[in-house]
Amino acid sequence: MSRENTQDGATRTLTETPPATTKRPNSREAAEKTGNVFRLALTKAEAAESLGLSVDSFDRYVAPELRIVRRGRCRLIAVAELEAWLARSSSSLLEDLS
């Protein structure tokens, strides 16, 4: 904790804020090293974040091409399904130029 002087001359105590969330390990090996569990499936929000998209963009451009696990109100997207979509959807620069 640290202290800061305000404009009126009073002193206030500042507290450090903890990180908002813990990031998901990028691989099984990283998960095993840190003692975390490697997730096999993600929620829609987590899947969108993992691709660097908003949930709206994920719904519009990605979700229609994915197989999604539905159990009641729960919707899960397999990490392997996201990786396969990424491989199918990516193209090399040479393919784009021809």
- List pLDDT tens digits, range 20-75: 444 555 566 766 666 777 889 999 999 999 999 999 999 999 999 999 999 999 99
Name the phi and psi angles at 86, rounded to 5: -65, -40
Structure tokens at 2: 């640290």
Q: Which residue has the higher pLDDT, 83 or 14?
A: 83
Q: Is the pLDDT of residue 18 over 50?
A: no
| pLDDT attached to residue 58 | 97
The type of residue at 40 is L
Look up the pTM and report it.
Answer: 0.61
The C-alpha angle 69, 73, 74, rounded to 5 degrees, equals 45
pLDDT for 37 = 77
Q: Which value, in Å, is the radius of gyration of the alpha carbons in the chain?
A: 21
Residues 6+ apart with CB under 8 A from 30: 36
